[in-house]
């Protein structure tokens, strides 16, 4: 019987099996995520726990968590969150907890970073964005090429979005949450013709429920990049008077060309401009945001080569790490929001 509920509020800290749960980080319809640690060694972990009511009503989500664990074990990249362990543990009341232990990434999401750029325009050089995009593409290149027992898995993330990309305090972008990723050996959540993902971060072939490959993820990299550069949504998101169907329809017809002026204006407003970086990013966007998959780069590594990121990443990583740390500290209440600029190196320091 599965009756235990993951720890909340006043139950912290709580020990379950080898793990000490310290605080809640977030929750969704299917799972909750906590910051925790092992009781026998130092170092924080992110602990993903299936919600008990979902396990009772939808056993396929247990298979999905197991699949995610197997998938992450096949991906070894500094730009993808690292798998630690998968456990099924007896909870305090005798119920069964399904726990996926992952590397804990201390940092902020790509969405958090975008909000900062809106609040503090001109702080970040475009070369730092080139570095972020290069990291994301590098992580996808490894994930898409993952193999199990010598056979390719055909991995497609399917849920890339700003909330699933972290910028850590070393200034590195890290891809999170392969919970609905497609892979050839997955036993759950891979039915043909089923549309899964987060509008508007979906390619046209994903919206139509068609066959997917890595080019679907590349399209979404383009969507995230456009939004980061322009400071505007690629497609208006769902709202009280706007349902997913309308969002999906807009996604099918969204084009970059009519919005190039908006893109350039956003870059000039939000960033310390760099002509070479700007031209490189816009050229990449033009191919990533192609509606038809056949018109996009065939692989993430090809998109990386088109981006042609500078080899020297130290200055950009230094700035991005300082930004991530400053946002986190401000959010934790250790620093007043208006003082966040004190944590940011000057533009001259990172050129």
Residues classed as catalytic: 159
* Cβ atoms of residues 230 and 247 within 8 Å: no
Helix (H) or strand (E) holding 48: strand 44-50
Bridge pairing between strands 124-125 and 271-272: parallel
d(CA 55, CA 65): 11
Dihedral angle of Cα 173, 205, 300, 102, to the nearest 10 degrees: 40
CA atoms within 13 A on the CB side of 25: 21
Among 146, 204, 13, 183, CA closest to 92: 13
Residues 6+ apart with CB under 8 A from 159: 177, 179, 180, 181, 196, 197, 198, 201
Instruction: Name the one residue in this structure whose structure tokens are 């910028």.
Output: 167
d(CA 252, CA 259): 16
**Helix ranges (DSSP H) in the chain:** 52-57, 60-73, 110-119, 126-144, 204-207, 214-230, 244-253, 260-270, 275-288, 300-307, 314-331, 347-350
């Amino acid at each position: 019987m599965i009756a235990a509920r993951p720890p909340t509020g006043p139950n912290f800290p709580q020990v379950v099996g080898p793990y000490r749960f310290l605080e809640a980080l977030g929750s969704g319809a299917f799972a909750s995520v906590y910051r925790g640690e092992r009781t026998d060694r130092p170092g924080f972990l992110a602990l993903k726990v299936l919600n008990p009511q979902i396990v009772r009503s939808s056993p396929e989500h247990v298979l999905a968590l197991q699949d995610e664990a197997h998938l992450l074990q096949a991906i070894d990249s500094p730009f993808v969150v690292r798998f630690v362990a998968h456990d099924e543990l007896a909870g305090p009341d005798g119920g069964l907890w399904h726990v996926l232990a992952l590397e804990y990434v201390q940092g902020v999401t790509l969405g958090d970073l975008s909000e900062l750029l809106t609040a503090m325009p001109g702080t970040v050089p475009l070369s730092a964005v080139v570095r972020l995009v290069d990291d994301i593409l590098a992580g996808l290149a490894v994930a898409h090429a993952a193999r199990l027992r010598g056979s390719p898995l055909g991995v497609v993330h399917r849920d890339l979005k700003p909330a699933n990309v972290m910028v850590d305090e070393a200034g590195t972008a890290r891809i999170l949450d392969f919970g609905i990723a497609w892979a050839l050996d997955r036993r759950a959540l891979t039915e043909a013709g089923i549309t899964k993902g987060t509008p508007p971060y979906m390619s046209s072939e994903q919206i139509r429920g068609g066959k997917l490959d890595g080019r679907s993820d590349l399209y979404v990299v383009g969507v995230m990049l456009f939004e980061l550069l322009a400071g505007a949504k690629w497609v208006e998101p769902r709202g009280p008077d706007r349902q997913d169907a309308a969002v999906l329809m807009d996604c099918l017809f969204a084009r970059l060309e009519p919005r190039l002026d908006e893109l350039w204006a956003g870059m000039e407003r939000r960033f310390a401009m760099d002509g070479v970086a700007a031209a490189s990013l816009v050229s990449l966007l033009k191919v990533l945001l192609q509606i038809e998959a056949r018109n996009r780069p065939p692989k993430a590594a090809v998109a990386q080569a088109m981006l042609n990121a500078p080899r020297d990443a130290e200055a950009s990583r230094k700035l991005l790490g300082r930004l991530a740390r400053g946002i986190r500290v401000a959010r934790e209440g250790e620093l007043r929001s208006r003082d966040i600029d004190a944590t940011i190196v000057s533009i001259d320091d990172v050129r």
